[in-house]
Amino acid sequence: MFTFTKTARALGAALAVSGALAAAAPAHAAGTLNVAITQDAGSWDPIDTFVTWWGSVGSNLFDGLTMRGADMKLQPGLATSWEFLDNDTRIRFKLRENVKFHDGEPFNAEAVKFTFERLLGPEGAKGPQQSNYNSIDKVVVVDEHTVDFVMKRPDPVILTKLAGYGGMIVPPKYIQEKGDAYFNEHPVGTGPFKFVEYKPKISLTLARNDEYWGGKPKLDQVLYRFIAEPATQVAELQAGRVDIATAVPLGLVDTIKKSSNATVVSTSGPGTVVARYDTSRGITKDRDVRRALIMAVDRDAIIKQLLMGYAKPIASFQGDLSFGYDPALKPLPFNPAEAKKLLAKAGVKPGEAIQLDIRGSDSQFREVAQAIAGYLQGVGIKTTIKPYETPVLINDIIPQGKTGELWQMYWGGWTYDYDNTAYLMYHTGQKWNPYDKDAKLDAMLDAQRNTYKVEERQKTLREIAAYVADHALEMPLYALDTVVGVNKRVKNLSVPGDIRFRFVDASVE
């Protein structure tokens, strides 16, 4: 297969690079877990990042008031319980006692207050996280182990957000004495591992926190190596110098499986992929045309042949772990004959041309885009694929309404709540909704944001997904699985779909 041959060549080149890296990489140390991640986040301050790979490190350094367990369900973190007061305008958190930051500073209500005042103040305004928490008006200290969050407005996703990056609790005294810049590169939290050393663009080392409130970790150290090239990660895994490769090209999955010292672990991930429509002009202004293009594409074949089965078809812009997911909602079936009928009925003549905008750096989706173009050619639609640099597509082309008839959209859904996707994609005036203005859809999106009633929200979110599908605002494609390579010496490893590892129970032989 072309994909395998290409990535096999990449592995050959990576093996050469890997040999050069070997001298720089330490040999396996007893009790040390070696993890390859693709990016150096640059700053380890929780309020400074949206980078997925930050979470792989940060989730071992820091804790939030809430957290997700291995089953991805929300559970207590630094808060042991919470209750809604004063008609849901105030949330009271009882805090875990006898917890210390890595520098010995006590964790208490003042630390929570400091964390969120910093996040919502001038320092937080410098980073990307502040807007996720701006439903919080203020944090009030009730006593040493109790805080109240006074809310500006309802925020039914707030408990989930508190398990996210920006909500990680930080040490007041340490930051006030050392400064924000120092904290960026010498982070201190309450997590299961504590900071040892940071070599920018090379590695970051953590050591076990023997006083961790959640139990003493089994590992002595975790060494994160920043290896941008996925094939090089795989080569290092095969060579035994990496225990976990977090970026595995699907074309190299079988190579890892055949290895004597490594295996592949996959799980459902939060990442979903669609091709969204320009609904304001051209042939895709017509709902029947949009439905026809969906029916022209065989998503199951794409998943099987190009993604090697490591994805699932979707009917809406969310995976099956998302709150609001409706298993009863099914995507339009692959039916090119019906697609041709709809196109003819809409007056679309064979040879009509459209443009599909993609992220040029996404080699996997380039192949998917080519397959989509091939399927559309089968119903008489000529498709030009136009690649852009990712920041240009996301921050310029889409927001300014300069796209072609179709454009690629990938979304991570870090809150595991459909609101995080649906509101940003479909509400009038949002950055990534340059074309649609739908008062009914806006009303549904607003309604689910204004209630804490779980069943009511779920019902509304499912109605939103069905409404979007009925109006064919996008071509739903697939939800990607998370695929990692793991050395067989690693035991008791939980692989979360969002790669936010917590290595409390993991060990190495």
Which residues contact residue 318 at a Cβ distance below 8 angstroms, ignoring those fewer than 6 apart?
272, 324, 325, 413, 418, 421, 465, 479
Q: Which of the pair, 70 or 73, is modelled with greater confidence?
A: 73
Helix spans in 79-238 (H): 109-119, 122-125, 158-161, 172-178, 180-185, 230-238
Average of pLDDT values for 316-336? Answer: 97
The values of phi and psi at residue 254, to 5°, are -65, -35
Window from 41-50, 374-383, 488-497 with minimum mean pLDDT: 41-50
pLDDT, averaged across the chain: 93
Confidence (pLDDT) at 9: 46
Confidence (pLDDT) at 28: 53
Residue 286 clears pLDDT 60, i.e. is over it = yes
Confidence (pLDDT) at 374: 99
498/39 Cα distance (integer angstroms): 15
CATH fold for domain 1-38+192-261+488-509: D-Maltodextrin-Binding Protein; domain 2 (3.40.190)
For the chain, the structural domain boundaries read 1-38+192-261+488-509, 62-191, 268-481
Q: Which of the pair, 73 or 316, is modelled with greater confidence?
A: 316
- The CATH architecture to which 62-191 belongs is Alpha-Beta Complex (3.90)
Confidence (pLDDT) at 29: 55
Using 50, 70 and 90 to split pLDDT, how confident is the model at 22? very low
Superfamily of domain 268-481: Dipeptide-binding Protein; Domain 3 (3.10.105.10)
pTM above 0.85, yes or no: yes
Q: Which of the pair, 132 or 356, is modelled with greater confidence?
A: 356
Residue 188 clears pLDDT 90, i.e. is over it = yes
Confidence (pLDDT) at 52: 80
**H/E run at residue 484:** strand 474-487
Average of pLDDT values for 455-464? Answer: 98
Using 50, 70 and 90 to split pLDDT, how confident is the model at 361? confident
Confidence (pLDDT) at 2: 26
In terms of phi and psi (left: phi > 0; alpha: psi -120 to 50; beta: otherwise), the region of 36 is beta
Residue 352 clears pLDDT 90, i.e. is over it = yes
Confidence (pLDDT) at 30: 60
Average of pLDDT values for 170-177? Answer: 98
